[in-house]
Structure 1
């Protein structure tokens, strides 16, 4: 598809059955996390999806072509759906709703990785972030389908189908920009270099994952598959995998990149100004 328009994700009407199956799965006894650790794990995954959805939604009416307004909007909606399922599941442990977790936590209480907090930048930077994010999420949800927690496995089973389209969208745009004009190639190369320091944090194991053997996916086990896919994509346009510094990270522990505060201020302002309001 080199040089052509990047594909739009499948219409949401086609996954109604999956939505109903997921809702049914989450209505049973497994709708409440078995432990605080399981709730914390779901929370970090939900925060990743929520913040990335918020970031991508900013492209609506600003994308370089009309089709991308639709495509990025659909991807954002998919991610918002993942976030809702994960935050609803996490919050059930202590009685908080998905809205409580999305709108009424402060910056230090979020557990998203730094990659998802990076500015959209130009279109190439957004695509580079999407290439990494969707590549990571595809591998994560592929393995999470085998979780011993039925609710997490159900959420992953739905999410992986959508994230596969997100990854294809990012791959096609990466190739299109890298194989286009000299300027588009320069921007794509620069975007990859700027995003790459934040990749490492995604694949770090920690004590929470250690405690959740069988429930959580060990991030380090995903790295080789992720690297192989990205290397193959970049090789199509004779691009090297970036090398350079590794960002400190710390989002899983509540230490965030400076961009998260403004993201939350924008996302939470209406709910905090009118708490309890309904539409």
Structure 2
């Protein structure tokens, strides 16, 4: 027997929180894949701890999303149900975070990109009209600052390092940068959240993000790629071919052993 899937409310505030919670959750899954595989022991521990930070953020945000879901539909989902029992099209993370683990250069650049985004977003969410979300942001912003700083140090170290490390960083920039455009595209969910004071529009973070990431890449001796027409659409539930494999692994135990307790 397997557990049936759940379908969250389409209300804007629920969807806004799912985007945030899913971004943290799916990146945490990718970072967890480094456990036992990082290039040095210290990074093995650091990446795993950052994964746990992101799981904690995801749990808090998904719990709040489940409570808001109850206001709309009368059904309150907990964080485990929202994490493990949705269909692929109901996940709202940007495609950037679901891409395969890649090498260490790929990982630290993605961490820098997402860490910078989350830091800027958590800073704004501290003044959210939702008091519970504001409280979550007050704790999460400290973790995001560390994630950005840690990843940024590695981006500079590798980009300004050996020929091999610099080549790997250039390759990572070429692959990852086109996915950044999706992070700042607005839709009706963003508009409703901004109007209600729940949180900023995605586009509100673009200028500061580009400035901080541009400075980081310049220090690393790397160039910001020219804009491309390519657009990913993970926030709309249209995911890459990698997402299904990630969810199959992530959801297996909960699906196979419904409500299992340890």
| Alignment TM-score, normalising by the size of structure 2 | 0.90
1:67 alignment partner, one of 33, 39, 42: 42
Equivalent runs, 1:8-47 vs 2, <5 Å: 36-47=11-22
CA distance in 1, matches of 2:229, 2:180: 8
Query: Is 1:195 paired with 2:176?
Result: yes
CA distance in 2 between counterparts of 1:243 and 1:275 reads 48
Partner of 2:240: 257
What's the counterpart of residue 266 of structure 1?
249
CA distance in 2: counterparts of 1:126 and 1:105, whole angstroms: 26
Q: Is the 8 A contact 2:155 2:169 kept in 1?
A: yes
Partner of 1:222: 205
Q: Which residue of 1 aligns with 2:86?
A: 105
Cα shift readout 1:160-198 (whole Å, capped 9, x = no counterpart): 110000000111100111121101100001101110011
Extract structure 1 runs of 4+ deviating beyond 3 A. Answer: none
What does 1:201-220 correspond to in 2, within 5 Å?
A: 201-212=182-193, 213=195, 214-220=197-203
1:14 alignment partner in structure 2 = none
- Distance of 1:259 and 1:102 partners within structure 2: 17
Match of 1:22 in 2: none
Scaled by the length of structure 1, the TM-score of the pair is 0.85
Deviation at 1:238, TM superposition (A): 2.6
The whole-number CA distance in structure 1 between the counterparts of 2:254 and 2:198 is 33
1:119 CA drift (Å): 1.2
* Alignment correspondent of 2:136: 155
1:113–1:252 contact (8 Å) kept in structure 2: yes
Structure 1 residues 111-143: Cα deviation after superposition (integer angstroms, max 9, x where no partner): 111111111111111111111111111111111
The 1-side partners of 2:13 and 2:220 are apart by: 41
Per the alignment, residue 103 of structure 2 pairs with 122
Cα distance in 2 between the residues matched to 1:236 and 1:273: 48
Structure 1 spans left out of the alignment, 5+ residues = 1-34
- Quote how far apart the aligned CAs of 1:253 are: 1.6
Equivalent pairs, count:
245
8 Å contact 2:115–2:147 — kept in the other structure?
A: yes
| Between 198-207 and 230-239, the greater mean CA deviation after superposition | 230-239
- CA shift, 1:42, in A, is 1.0
8 A contact 1:128–1:192 mirrored in 2: yes
In the alignment, the residues of structure 1 paired with residue 16 and residue 191 of structure 2 have an alpha-carbon distance, to the nearest angstrom, of 11
Q: Contact 1:198–1:246 (CA<8 Å) still a contact in 2? A: no
By how many angstroms is 1:79 displaced?
0.3
* In 2, Cα distance between equivalents of 1:101 and 1:238: 41
Taking only aligned residues, the RMSD between alpha carbons, in angstroms, comes to 1.3
